[in-house]
Amino acid sequence: TFPFMQEIESKFNSVIRILGSNHRTSEHQNRQPRGLINAVGRLANILFGVCSDQDAEFFYKHIEDLARSEEKHVHLSQEQIRIVSSVMNNVNSTMHELLTDDQKLQRNINRIEEQSRRSEATINVLEIQNTFLEHTAILTVFLNQFAWETQNLQSIVNSALNGLMHTNVYPPSQLIHELKQIQLTLPSTLELPITESHLSIPELFRTSKLSVVYIQQNLVFVTRIPLLSNIRFNLFHNIPLPIPTNKGNIVIIEPQAQYLAISDTNEYHFSLTDDQYEKCETLFSFKLCVNPEAISKFIHQENCEVSLYNSPYQTIGACNFKYLNLNTTIWHKLYLQNAWLYYCISQAVTVTCAQNSSRILLTGTGKIQISDNCVIYTENLILTPSRTLSSEIHRDFVPENPNLHALLKIPEIINSHVPEQIDTNKYFKKF
């Protein structure tokens, strides 16, 4: 039994050192330490994430109330918080087994004590030997189970230090059940990003914010799950296409925003900057973006890009045209496609696929797409494809508005403008 005792003591001390210290992982050294909750005078150790003293006090108060009520969960509608009590099922079953084994040990001790009171002639040596063997076996199982539980507890704490909730804390099936219960309390305009499959749990936690707090022998996992709007949007990257004129100049529409999200019904829209788009999370097969502004309703002529998308054949008065002088060839690779947008006055390129090559003359503005075994050679560039397996859907929308062919409709207006001498990177940084 001595090795078991050593293992139990070692694991237990390891857990106590972690939970009882102001431990900080190297990845989170910049996080400000939290700790003393002045209102109740207890120490809260933040194992992962950020949790204020007030939040820790709030959770501890409701956890104590939950423990006294002997309920499994409590839902706080006003704060949109659901607190769930979890005791590992295997711990419960193990404790029941340990209690049974303890009763057996006590019976064996009583039997040995009874035999010891007898005279030497009446002592049943075989019974004493069997009792000792049974007693040793039960004690070994007892310590083995306790060592396993200590190891399990250490795994839970180590997972918490890395911002993960161990499956022994809360099994995925129970977690999905709780999320469905939360969904029933949400307004009809909001929903949780969950599916019926357990495979959605890792994706859900990847987009959520998890904090782990140890307070008064309670390991508290605080998960902040994003709520989704029930309005689905299609996200477009606004790329201004140069339109060549008959004077050797070009016309472009200056985008009002880098990214435009339009609802499936074309009724609502909002814009995103490059920084806002970079902060979007990929969840399952769609993007999860936080919109810092209000969602706008479509009004014709209010937004250039939205007007072009909804009414491509109508007059576009909200667009800002730029008339430029550009003699540089521009290439822009489309996201997750082996396709390039190009602008050139005239350029010959060679497309090589396996052992076959072809020469193509490009003029003006267009799109060239190749398979993943082809390569495009220009005068000073080599355009190589990439192979990407993705379930995302990407489509192009090029508005066929007669106003965009302004060179044929209003040549006198274009001829009256003198092209600006500009740095091409200013307007074509996306190409």
Residue 55 lies in a domain: yes
SS3 content of the chain, % helix, strand, coil (to 5): 35, 25, 40
Kindly state whether residues 261 and 394 are assigned to the same domain. Answer: yes
Distance CA 262, CA 212 (A): 38
Domain that holds residue 199: 31-86+170-228
CA 347 to chain centre: 44
Instruction: Establish if 194 belongs to a structural domain.
Output: yes
Quick check: is 377 in a domain? yes
* Residue 76 near residue 94, CB atoms below 8 Å: no
Residues 202 and 258 in one domain: no
Domain limit, last residue, from 213, 228, 243: 228
Report helix angle 2-20 to 125-161, nearest 10: 30
Residues in Cβ contact with 63 at an 8 Å cutoff, skipping those fewer than 6 apart: 83, 85, 218, 220
pLDDT for residue 320: 84
Q: How far is the CA of 377 from the CAs of 283, 344, 383, in angstroms?
A: 37, 15, 6
> What span, in angstroms and rounded, lies between the C-alpha atoms of 211 and 205?
11
Tell whether 318 and 188 lie within a shared domain. Answer: no
CA distance 105 to 132: 10
* Residue 158 domain flag: no
pLDDT at position 29: 38
Based on the fold, state whether residues 302 and 328 are members of the same structural domain.
Answer: yes
The reply to whether 224 and 237 lie within a common domain is no
Let me know if residue 22 belongs to a domain: no
pLDDT at 395: 60
Same domain, residue pair 258 and 209: no
Q: In the prediction, which pLDDT does 84 show?
A: 57
Do the domain assignments include residue 174? Answer: yes
Phi, psi (rounded to 5 degrees) for 418: -90, 120
Per DSSP, helices labelled H in 190-259 are 200-207
Burial of 250 (0-12, 13-18, 19+ CB in 10 A): buried
Each residue of 215-224: b (16+ CB within 10 Å) or e? Answer: beeebbbbbe
In a domain, 112, yes or no: no
Structure tokens of 26? 């190297």
Q: What is the mean pLDDT of each run of 10 residues along the chain (431 residues)?
A: 62 64 40 34 44 58 60 52 53 52 66 62 64 71 73 76 75 79 81 66 77 74 81 88 79 87 88 88 78 74 79 72 84 86 88 87 87 88 74 58 44 41 42 35
Are residues 279 and 370 located together in one domain of the fold? yes
The answer to whether residues 201 and 343 belong to one domain is no
Q: Residue for token digits 């200590």? A: 150
Out of 204, 228, 252, pick the residue that ends a domain.
228
Query: Do 224 and 302 have their domain in common?
Result: no
Count of alpha carbons within 13 angstroms of residue 168, beta-carbon side: 18
Q: State residue 144's pLDDT score.
A: 73
- Amino acid identity for residue 70 in this structure: E
**Do 247 and 195 belong to one domain?**
no
Does residue 79 belong to any structural domain of this protein? yes
| Tokens encoding 320 | 């800002």
**One-character DSSP codes across 82-128:** EEE----HHHHHHHHHHHHHHHHHHHHHHHHHHHHTS-GGG--HHHH
Contact by Cβ (8 Å): 177, 35: no
Domains in the chain: how many in total?
A: 2
* pLDDT at 321 (0 to 100): 85
Last residue of a domain, one of 228, 251, 270: 228
CA distance 92 to 66: 19
Q: Pairing mode, if any, of strands 218-224 and 209-215?
A: antiparallel
Q: How far is CA 338 from CA 241, 299, 368, 376, 383, in A?
A: 18, 36, 9, 11, 9
Give yes or no: residues 248 and 343 share one domain. yes
Pair (255, 223) in one structural domain? no
